[in-house]
Amino acid sequence: MRRGAVAAVAAANVLPRLTASRELRSTGNAVYGNNDVTFPVLREAADWLQLHSLTDAMNTIAFRTIAVVMISAPLLIFSQRTTSAATVTVTIVGNYYGFSFNPSSVTIHPGDTVRWNWHSMGHSTTSGSPGMPNGLWDSGIRNQGAMFTYTFNTPGSFPYYCTVHGACCGMTGVVRVMGPTPTPTPTPTPAGRSYLGNISTRGFVQTADNVMIGGFIIQGSQAKRVIIRVIGRELIPFGVPNVLNDPTLELHNSAGTLIASNNNWQTTIIGGIITADQVSAIQNSGHAPTQPSESAIIATLPPGNYTAIVRGMNNTTGNALVEVYDLQPVF
């Protein structure tokens, strides 16, 4: 096992367990990637796993393969014809789970063009690194339906980012321009590591023994810093009915001991492993809830089993989402 691996979040192996009345119902196990991450498949809860691939360049490869097939026949007749430049599309997406360029890495050749299409509002494509633009290109902040293109004429590696979400949310990408080769066959981008960004589950929170319970495991030899949060009202724009208006969050260790709690993330409850105000840390994590009535906890947890319990304030009920994010992902 790698140092600091986590079975609950990101590249650190997350194992969610959702129980009702303290009874786990599963239909099997599924294993993802090369991280030995095992997930029980739940029958009565809707789990979302967002698996981000850092090396999805297949669209570029497919386009070039087609271009070679279509042009190779005319070359037999007209020796003057050459392979035309390609245009590769990158989609700018943003939803409840995060913001990204899809694919985040593309490999092209000199003379090729990258076209960014906006499927989400309030983003830019800007050359350079977060906070350090290099002036090569800058689309400015654009909204859904917009398009921006840039033609790359020299080989090299060209990183870029979103000026709004690059630093806070890791919304970055890279264009790799290959040098001249003796064959028109494109070189595929080497396969990279995928990582699990977060894990979450939604359920109807009731009272007494019918509260929502989510379990996760941190593995390895070092502690892992995570954020656990629960949201209710934030689900309304996504069409979720009967939301839990004021969810509370408890974090228990493997012995069942309460080690942290929260009710309204903008007010820190000191106690257990929480020894200082967490509001700024939650805001800077990039995963702060948008509603003040939601709850969140940041914790640095040693390897072990942990349980998050969600209740409604004053025994209220409703739909809620509990999730765990790794704040120290390993790439």
Where is average pLDDT lowest: 76-90, 234-248, 260-274?
76-90
CATH topology of domain 58-177: Immunoglobulin-like (2.60.40)
Return the pLDDT at 168. Answer: 86
Fold agreement (10-51+194-326, 58-177): no
Cα–Cα distance between 70 and 64 in angstroms, integer? Answer: 10
Q: In this model, does residue 299 exceed pLDDT 80? A: yes
Q: In this model, does residue 65 exceed pLDDT 70? A: no
Q: In this model, does residue 216 exceed pLDDT 70? A: yes
Rg (CA), the chain: 23
Cα–Cα distance between 275 and 273 in angstroms, integer? Answer: 6
Cα–Cα distance between 138 and 160 in angstroms, integer? Answer: 9
Q: Phi and psi dihedrals of 36, rounded to 5?
A: 55, 45
> What are the pLDDT digits (tens) for 27-42?
334 333 333 333 333 3
- Closest of 193, 166, 198 to residue 55, by C-alpha: 193
> What are the pLDDT digits (tens) for 87-142?
999 999 987 678 899 999 999 999 999 999 999 899 999 999 999 999 999 999 99
Return the pLDDT at 265. Answer: 96
Boundaries of every domain in the chain: 10-51+194-326, 58-177
DSSP strand pairing (212-218 vs 147-152): unpaired
Cα–Cα distance between 263 and 278 in angstroms, integer? Answer: 13
DSSP state string for 50-93: EEE-S---HHHHHHHHHHHHHHHHHHHH-TT--PPP-EEEEEEE
| Interacting residues of 60 by C-beta distance below 8 A, sequence separation 6+ | 86, 88, 106, 107, 108, 186
Cα–Cα distance between 324 and 319 in angstroms, integer? Answer: 17
CATH class of 10-51+194-326: mainly beta
Handedness of CA 261, 266, 269, 272 (dihedral sign): positive
Q: In this model, does residue 288 exceed pLDDT 50? A: yes
Provide the residue type at 17 as one letter: R
Beta pairing partners, 24: 19
